[in-house]
């Protein structure tokens, strides 16, 4: 995936630099894409991204419990409904951790960097692009995770798109995404396991 993204970036850069005709749309996209990778606010972005990720985890965990209460389902069973997706062995845990880090970064570069930035000019407001992109992003997870988890992914994606639309960096949304995945795969299961005993 990273290779494809790199090839797209190189191709667009070559078109802009080698063409005698101006390409304002491509030039605008590449400038906005570069803006996502500004290093001058890296530490601040990582801090606020971490806090945003933790905040989203708390809010969505509370919403998940609320759904169980409204549905009159046993909260413990509801929380453990996707435990079959969790890594169990050491090898699975290493793969899950590396996918959480590398996969989240690639997804953010592709969805919030390449696609979101490219599609914003098609509508009058960034929210329409965010809703479309978030629907696609969450549906890509739907076959494995079920309706409620897909809905939570949709909400997270809209929030991350909003952050980018309001000037947030790729570092901000990537660290939030990574923390959400790591928390869901490793930290929350340990927390619930301790409280189940």
Asked if 59 contacts 180 with a C-beta cutoff of 8 angstroms, the reply is no
Residues 6+ apart with CB under 8 A from 157: 111, 130, 133, 134, 137, 138
pTM of the model: 0.90
Query: Which one, of 84, 174, 166, 172, lies nearest residue 125 by Cα?
Result: 166
Cα–Cα distance for residue pair 30/25, rounded to 1 Å: 9
Report how far apart, in Å, the C-alpha atoms of 21 and of each of 7, 16, 121, 181 are: 22, 9, 21, 44
Reading the chain (197 residues) residue by residue, the pLDDT tens digits are 778 888 988 998 888 888 888 888 889 999 999 999 999 999 999 999 999 999 999 999 999 999 999 999 988 888 888 888 889 999 999 999 999 999 999 999 999 999 999 999 888 899 999 999 999 999 988 877 788 989 999 999 999 999 999 999 999 999 999 999 999 899 888 877 766 65
Cα–Cα distance for residue pair 174/109, rounded to 1 Å: 8
């Amino acid at each position: 995936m990273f290779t494809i993204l790199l090839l797209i970036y190189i191709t667009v850069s070559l078109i802009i630099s080698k063409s005698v005709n101006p390409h304002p749309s491509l030039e605008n996209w590449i400038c906005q894409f570069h803006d996502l990778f500004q290093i001058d606010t890296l530490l601040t972005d990582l801090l606020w991204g971490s806090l945003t990720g933790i905040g989203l985890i708390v809010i969505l965990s509370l919403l998940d419990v609320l759904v169980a209460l409204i549905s009159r389902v046993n909260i413990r069973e509801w929380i453990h409904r996707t435990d079959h997706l969790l890594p169990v062995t050491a090898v699975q845990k290493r793969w899950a951790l590396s996918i959480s880090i590398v996969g989240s970064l690639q997804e953010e570069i592709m969805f919030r960097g390449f696609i979101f930035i490219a599609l914003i000019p098609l509508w009058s407001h960034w929210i329409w692009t965010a809703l479309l992109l978030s629907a696609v992003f969450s549906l890509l997870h739907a076959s494995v995770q079920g309706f409620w988890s897909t809905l939570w992914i949709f909400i997270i994606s809209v929030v991350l798109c909003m952050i980018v639309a309001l000037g947030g960096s790729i570092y901000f949304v990537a660290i939030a995404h990574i923390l959400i995945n790591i928390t869901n795969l490793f930290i929350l299961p340990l927390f619930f396991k301790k409280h189940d005993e």
